[in-house]
Amino acid sequence: MESISVGKGSQEVESSDGCNSYQGYDENTDKKIKQLAREFTRNSHVNDALNENESHQEKTGYSEGKDNSEDESEENFDLLRTVTSMSQVPGVVPVDETIDPRLDPSSDSFSSKFWVKNIKKLMDSDPDYYKPTSLGFACKNLVARGISSDADYQANFLNFPFKKARDLYLNVLRGNDQSRYFDILKSMDCLIKPGTLTVVLGRPGAGCSTFLKTVASQTYGFKVDKESVISYNGLTPSEIDNNYRGEVIFSAEMDNHFPHLTVGQTLQFAAQLRTPQNRFPGVDRTAYAKHMSQVRIPHSPGFYLLFASY
């Protein structure tokens, strides 16, 4: 016969047959239950997708294979997880001291990932006001050429007129002389889709920086062939230069900054220059720029050490 004893004021249960004793509903138990529920939900959606695919195969007589079915089920679950995650984001103006601390860059609970999701949901809630945009890049027969020269002027106050006169002579009278040029980028086709991250890899001197400058429509110092076709979702490079210069940016390895400004002041100055007219409702330019600069300042002490050493 079993003998069970329950201590007064405690949820612990002891059994003489050596079974595990009941320890009560604590925080660890709550985590296990939630994890079990997530696993059950995931498996349920995956199994439903597999059953649906098998039913489709029986009706059509066409089989895509088990691996493809499982991959599709995983994609469906990832999509469901994304939708569920976005449903938990408030989509509110983050410049408010009474909001979620995960949206406050001065709080220790600040989450950059949560902040980005909130901004996306906020902009999607009123696209007529915020006018969210995306831009892709496509080129055909892209060729970039540099000017071949054994020596050049290091411009200063005295030789600047001679340098300008020489450049004018070369560009006007010998602008079509192909012997002056050498190929930096040979004929290539490229497509960069909107909303994607593209990594350009190459050895030193392969033309990676030249390609990135061409994408950013900053071609000073080299020449893009007239036969090259470049399009930014239907926009030409000249339209980018004249109307959307701030939307396509090339960030060089070396940059010039004011040495008397701190990192925070530099970021705030840049944020003030980039403050749009259709900013958050009820937020002035100064408050907007301050908030954006605080968001861009990393909250890791190690970054400042790395930044200072660099």
Q: In this predicted structure, what is the pLDDT of residue 55?
A: 59
Cα–Cα distance for residue pair 301/46, rounded to 1 Å? 42
288, containing H or E segment: helix 285-296
Q: Could you tell me the residue ranges of all domains in the chain?
A: 26-88, 137-247, 263-309
Give the single-character DSSP code of 245: G
Position 61, amino acid: G
Note the Cα 184 to chain centre separation in Å: 29
Do 106 and 294 meet the contact criterion of CB atoms below 8 Å apart? yes
Cα–Cα distance for residue pair 213/283, rounded to 1 Å? 35
What does each of the 310 residues of the chain score in pLDDT, given as a tens digit?
444 333 344 444 545 555 556 566 667 777 777 777 777 776 665 566 556 555 555 555 544 444 555 555 555 555 555 555 556 788 888 887 677 888 888 888 888 888 988 888 888 888 899 888 888 999 999 999 887 665 565 667 777 787 778 777 777 766 666 677 788 999 999 999 988 889 999 898 889 999 999 999 998 888 899 899 999 999 999 999 998 887 888 887 777 778 888 888 888 888 888 888 888 888 999 999 999 888 887 654 434 333 333 3
CA distances from 279 to 123, 132, 168, 209 (A): 10, 12, 44, 33
Note the Cα 68 to chain centre separation in Å: 29
Can you list the alpha helix ranges (DSSP code H) found in 105-156? 112-125, 127-130
